[in-house]
Structure 1
Amino acid sequence: MAGRKQTTVKKPLLQPDNRGPRTIKRGDQVAELIKSWINDGKVRPGVRLNKEAELQDLFKVSRGSMREALKALEVQGLVSLSTGPDGGATITRVPLARAFQSLQNFLFFESISLEDIYGVRRVLEPLLAAGAVEHLTDADFEALERSVEVCEPFVASHEHALDQRHEDIHFHDVLAAANPNAFLRCLCQIINQMLHSLVVVAGNVTQQEYQAFGRKTVAAHRAILDAARRRDASAVEQLMAVHMEEAEAQLRKVHAALRQKLVLDSDLGLRAGGKRGS
């Protein structure tokens, strides 16, 4: 195992806060300094910070303040904390789950509907799919094909139907991952996560209605996949635009709605001292 990569920065000096009677806690000051290291490129994702005792000495703070700083950074998704002899803090890329959680918790206090989401999705998803076409690999095509195949069999149960609808969303995640526009990709992936986690349908929806929804989705995905294999970005964009219109109409037929809720760490598999699975 490679040795711990030490952070090579000058010893920081925590400055007193002169902005008024409310002082900035030392733990918060430390967190801000470490974020400035990330911002300046002094530490990158994958770099492990010095051990906790060494960081305490570096920043001249108590153990409690140091732990408070690291915990704050973990909550923001900027470090991953681990325990044990080789444990400590490792700089990480902010996971998409954290971005989704923050946005959804903001939107919890706003009045948004499924129609609002599809108003945005109708614009973004065709652009995203078209931009992904030339970047799709053989592995991507295999993943898209598997997604379509999972959704084609006869639905035997309500639970299986829900699994198929989640796989429908995965089809769009594969396209998103292939698009090189990171901003567009992030927006569409967050929308997909919202649809996956927060959309609920009426309890009296019949299996026939689920099947009708599934058949239309499979047909649309198959057509999009065939056009993508031909590297026909224009056709993919047009097909996706039609698919978005049909998908919203189908969701209305099954009386779908957006469940307003705060997203907890446990909802996303995020927990203190651990990382979310892939």
Structure 2
Amino acid sequence: MSELDPVDPTVAANKPRRKRTDEIVDAIKRMIVEHGLGPGDRLPQERELIVQFAAGKGTVREALKALEVQGLISVRTGPGGGAFIERMSEGRAMSLLSNFLFAKNLSIANIYEMRKVLEPQVAASATPQIDEAGLKRLEAIISVYDHEPESATERWNQRMAELDFHSVVAEYSDNPILAFTCRFLQRLLKDLTIAQDIYLQPEPVLRASGIRHQRALIAAMRRRDPAAAAKILTEHMAEAEQHMLDLQAKLMDRFLTEDAEPARARKRRSA
């Protein structure tokens, strides 16, 4: 294996000096990319890194630990041990981002503000790429929720499938950052507490218009019309946002009414 590139010692005068650990982390990341290392490949041994970076054992171990926390490597002890490249799954990356946003008080409106911008773009970028098998997957997903549910479990599965439809669209985008971001927003909706409360409500969900948009999207993609796909998703996302916000308002009104009932009962008893 080629040696790691040394960390560039020159630092612009107006730049704050970075921690040595961070410099080593960045150098190792560059090496992984430049040398085409993949899951299972081993990094140089700790003693080699110490010599190469002229760094102390503690500094090198801190850098390796940072990479391990990020999910990029795993450190194994014992015979044959060392630091090995790990496959960073999309699920793990999303979990890390979700943890970062945990205390940010995300709202449905926050998520749809992003979806309204990005979902039309991801649909347009997927349109030239999607094949007939992908279009049939989308049609099959619609069949999951094109009828009223017979149970609470089916109702929940239908709501999840509505989001899965857009996840499949994103799979065919040629922009990996755009696709990942859209799938992440879809996951946030699945995990957001207020959204889950809405999905669990037994009231009928008006899906007819949304399904019309989705079938129109499939038709636009089949005829390779990115502009039409983007226009359809712009309308669909605006309508979906309004629908979710209306359901949220109804749910909050219901909670307020239920909370007020015990107070009125206590007042009658004390009169």
Higher relative contact order (CA 8 A, sep 6+): 1
**2:202 equivalent to 1:206:** yes
Q: CA deviation at 1:105?
A: 3.1
Contact between 1:133 and 1:232, CA under 8 Å: does it hold in 2? yes
Q: Which residue of 1 aligns with 2:255?
A: none
Amino acid at match of 1:217: G
Q: Which residue of 1 aligns with 2:232?
A: 239
Q: Which residue of 2 aligns with 1:58?
A: 48
Q: Which residue of 1 aligns with 2:180?
A: 186
Q: Which residue of 2 aligns with 1:120?
A: 114
Distance 1:149 1:137 in 2: 19
**2:214 equivalent to 1:226:** no
Distance 1:10 1:233 in 2: 44
Distance 1:203 1:38 in 2: 43
List gaps (5 residues or longer) in structure 1: 1-6, 16-23, 258-278
Assess, with a 3 A threshold, how the Cα gap between structure 1 residues 174 and 80 changes in structure 2: closer, same or farther. Answer: farther
Assess, with a 3 A threshold, how the Cα gap between structure 1 residues 216 and 82 changes in structure 2: closer, same or farther. Answer: farther
Q: Which residue of 2 aligns with 1:101?
A: 95
Contact between 2:145 and 2:161, CA under 8 Å: does it hold in 1? yes
Assess, with a 3 A threshold, how the Cα gap between structure 1 residues 110 and 227 changes in structure 2: closer, same or farther. Answer: same
Distance 1:145 1:253 in 2: 27
Q: Which residue of 2 aligns with 1:131?
A: 125
Q: Considering only CA atoms, is the larger Rg found in Structure 1 or Structure 2?
A: 2
Q: Which residue of 2 aligns with 1:267?
A: none
Q: Which residue of 2 aligns with 1:173?
A: 167
Calculate percent identity across the aligned residue pairs.
Answer: 32
Distance 1:247 1:72 in 2: 40
Paired residue secondary structure (2:144)? helix
1:252 corresponds to which of 235, 245, 254? 245
Q: Which residue of 1 aligns with 2:39?
A: 46
Q: CA deviation at 1:202?
A: 4.3
Amino acid at match of 1:55: Q
Aligned length: 235
Q: CA deviation at 1:178?
A: 1.0
Contact between 2:156 and 2:199, CA under 8 Å: does it hold in 1? no
Larger % of helix: which? Answer: 2
Q: CA deviation at 1:49?
A: 0.4
Q: CA deviation at 1:107?
A: 3.0
Q: CA RMSD in A?
A: 3.6
Assess, with a 3 A threshold, how the Cα gap between structure 1 residues 157 and 63 changes in structure 2: closer, same or farther. Answer: farther
Amino acid at match of 2:117: V
Contact between 1:11 and 1:58, CA under 8 Å: does it hold in 2? no
List gaps (5 residues or longer) in structure 2: 10-18, 251-271
Amino acid at match of 2:173: N
The worse-fitting range, judged by mean Cα deviation, of 93-102 and 186-195 is: 93-102
Contact between 1:205 and 1:254, CA under 8 Å: does it hold in 2? no
Distance 1:49 1:163 in 2: 42
Q: CA deviation at 1:95?
A: 3.3
TM-score (structure 1 length as normaliser): 0.68
Amino acid at match of 1:192: Q
